[in-house]
Chains A and B, each alone.
Chain A
Amino acid sequence: MATQHIQNVTVRGIASAVPKRILEVRDSKSFPSVEEAEKFIAAVGVERVRRHLGTMCCSDMCQASAEKLMVELDWKPEDIDMLIFLSQSMDYILPATACVLHGKMGLRKDCACFDIGLGCSGWPYGLSVACGMMQSGGFRRVLLLMGDAKDNLSTPEKILEAEAKVIPLFGAAGTATALEYDSPAAPMMIDTCTDGTGYEAIIRREGAGRHPFKEDSLEYVVDEFGQTHRRIDTTMDGAAVFVFGISQVPRAVKGMLQRTGQSVDDVDYFLFHQANLMMNEQIRKKCKIPLEKCPYSLRDFGNNSSASIPLTMVTQIREQLTNGAPHKIIACGFGVGLSWGTVSLTLQNCLIPPLIEME
């Protein structure tokens, strides 16, 4: 059992930033025909994604989100006790991106900064680590930053070439969640899970220790699933991920409902990682969650890895979440690892600025 009861941390704010540039899935040259494109859109549910042309890193969008929250919360750089960067789109292989951000944001020297290398399960997992460390009261104000920005190995020309070859499903986004030690706070429960036997289901094969970058790492290949990509790109065994999602996620959600003594009716919003429409709808139906409790950012932003859950809050239910009333939420992130986490929490007076768009 890997379950935490948190009694003294409040989520003060959530912000998201995305590139201004919009890539319309329908316009993608990666489809053999218009029919194929429409079939893909109907099943996967992504109509457009936000992409940059090598002009920003995930950390830039996270920093913009964090600084926006700090202004609105009136938190000064010297108030921050910990900054966690959770992403698989880091600035450098080393040092940790959290350290880079620490310097750029002018944080105090007695401030804990580190990275967590997770993806789609990030929001619950990041909360688990941050809130777990905050239990002692030794960290009062904490920034939990996460997102995904694709690789920046390319020039703008190469990025355009890649966009013409690879079906767009993933978008770029960076988010910030501001946490404060607060006693007593509304209770939070977090479950964190792993199935490492499925590590190959979502993988970027080349460019790190096991299979270092080599001359042909940038060549396009067609894999056993018929997808075109380079070996330095993230690849996916769609069926394995689908089976994983529809097996584990309903179990995780039902387990969380049971442990917190809630029914589906008691919860205002179920926020899922935005994987793809077929998988998310199968999960929603298996959990018997009505559609109106299950907001989607998938159509306009695609799959944004760890940013998906905060991005969905900012873009789909911002007005509802900021109306002053308490909102009971269950969020479940699942994917690369394979890793999944579920959190049950109440958001009230959580500050959520409008979506930030970056040039």
Chain B
Amino acid sequence: MIDQNQFLAQMQEILEIEDRTLSPDEKFRELPEWSSLAYLSTIAMIDDEYNVIISAADFRELQTLGDIVRAISERQ
């Protein structure tokens, strides 16, 4: 089972966000810290931590951090 809070903490680390806490409703693409490198780091982290690889086409459909959590749990 994926722990949502743990995932949010992992995303904060990738995005180097220290001054605030990310919420599941966060539209990650709108964050100034989001970039193509952050995207690749996210795919790699999900692969490492949850043993799941989300295809680029499926990832494109995801809007919020909560959507990513759901996508991971559907594939576990």
Total A-B contacts with CB atoms under 8 angstroms apart: 44
Measured between beta carbons, the chain B residues less than 8 angstroms from A222 are: none
Q: Is A114 part of the contact surface with B, judged by Cβ < 8 Å?
A: no
| Chain B CB within 8 A of A246 CB | yes
Is A240 a contact partner of B53 (Cβ separation < 8 A)? no
Q: Are B53 and A246 in contact, with the CB atoms below 8 A?
A: yes
A278 to chain B: which residues have CB within 8 Å? 37, 40-41, 44
The verdict on A242 contacting chain B, using a C-beta distance below 8 Å, is yes
Q: What class of interface size applies to chain B in its complex with A?
A: 10 to 19
Residue of B nearest to A198 (CB): B56
Contact between A243 and B41, CB atoms less than 8 A apart: no
Name B's interface SS. helix
A286 to B57, CA, bound (A): 23
Q: Which of chain B's residues has its CB closest to A226's CB?
A: B36
| Chain A facing B: main interface SS | helix
Q: Which residues does chain A contribute within 8 Å of B47, judged by CB atoms?
A: 246, 282, 286
Residues of B with C-beta under 8 A to A226: 36
Give min CB distance, A201 to chain B, whole Å: 8
Q: Compute how far the CA of A243 lies from the CA of B47 in the bound complex, rounded to whole angstroms.
A: 10
Q: How far is the CA of A225 from the CA of B48 in the complex (A)?
A: 24
A242–B43 touching, CB < 8 Å: yes
Docked-complex contact B56 and A43, CB < 8 angstroms: no
Task: Mark each residue of chain A from 246 to 263: 1 if its CB lies under 8 Å from any CB of chain B, else 0.
Answer: 110000000000000000
Q: Whole-angstrom distance between the alpha carbons of A266 and B48 in the complex?
A: 25
List B contacts of A246 (CB < 8 A).
Answer: 43-44, 47, 53
Chain B residues whose C-beta falls within 8 Å of the C-beta of A240 in the assembled complex? 55-57
Could you tell me if B54 and A243 are in contact, using CB atoms closer than 8 angstroms?
yes
What are 5 A-B contacts with C-beta separation under 8 Å? A226-B36, A237-B56, A238-B36, A243-B54, A279-B40
Other than the given A240-B56, A278-B37, A278-B44, 9 more pairs (CB < 8 A) read A237-B56, A243-B55, A243-B56, A246-B44, A246-B53, A247-B53, A278-B41, A282-B47, A286-B47
**B residues adjacent to A (C-beta < 8 A):** 36-37, 39-41, 43-44, 47-48, 53-57, 59
9 closest residue pairs by CB, A with B: A240-B56, A239-B56, A43-B37, A282-B44, A247-B53, A242-B40, A243-B56, A278-B40, A239-B39
